[in-house]
Amino acid sequence: MSFVSFVSFVAFASVVPYVKRMKQAVQKQPISRPTAGDASLAARAGRDLAGVLRQTRGGALTVEAQGQAIALPAEAVRALLDVLNHMARGDAVAVAAAKPELTTKQAADLLGVSRTYLVQLLDEGALPYRKVGTHRRVRSEDVATYRRKMDRRQALDELTAYDQELGLQ
């Protein structure tokens, strides 16, 4: 995978675990879980990278590899940290280039919902979109934002159910 493809991924850094649902043909790479050794290495690298990021206050980084200095944009470093954290947990990770706009099918796949349901969300105004002829296009940033909202809502629902189970509500 090229560095440019990695940087293009940044818009979807927060949905890394969901990207694995995308067709493997698009990825052109098999999706597999990291080995225990790779997960351990990712955990150490993630801790080290997080420490460096705190020192640089989230700015760009320069790394040295084989005597050559390579400048990494801050967004790419944060995306790499996210990938390392998922690998450390044993999650399968795939990196895909994020297009600025997605079709309804692509957006539905990333959200893990049916295309029909996504169109319903668009019609209700839950997600902004624009029309190109008769086709709807959804900005990838809006899909990522909506995904984060869905994740938070699901976590709150689970906590509420747990509270009720314990008789706290």
Q: What is the pLDDT of residue 122?
A: 95
- What's at 6, amino acid-wise? F
Nearest CA to 87 out of 38, 19, 21, 14 is that of 38
Q: What is the pLDDT of residue 119?
A: 94
Return d(Cα 90, Cα 93) in angstroms, integer.
9
Q: What is the pLDDT of residue 129?
A: 95
Can you read off the two tokens belonging to residue 135? 């086709």
* pLDDT averages per 10-residue partition of the chain, 169 residues: 37 39 48 87 90 79 87 86 91 76 90 92 94 93 87 79 77
Sheet containing strand 135-139, edge to edge, reads 101-102, 135-139, 130-132
101-165 CATH choice from 1.10.1760, 1.10.10, 1.10.287, 1.25.40: 1.10.10
pTM of the predicted structure, to 2 decimals:
0.50
Burial class (CB in 10 A: 0-12, 13-18, 19+), 84: buried
Q: What is the pLDDT of residue 21?
A: 44
Q: What is the DSSP letter of 132?
A: E
Number of residues in the chain = 169
Give the residue range(s) of CATH 1.10.10 domains in the chain: 101-165
Q: What is the pLDDT of residue 28?
A: 53
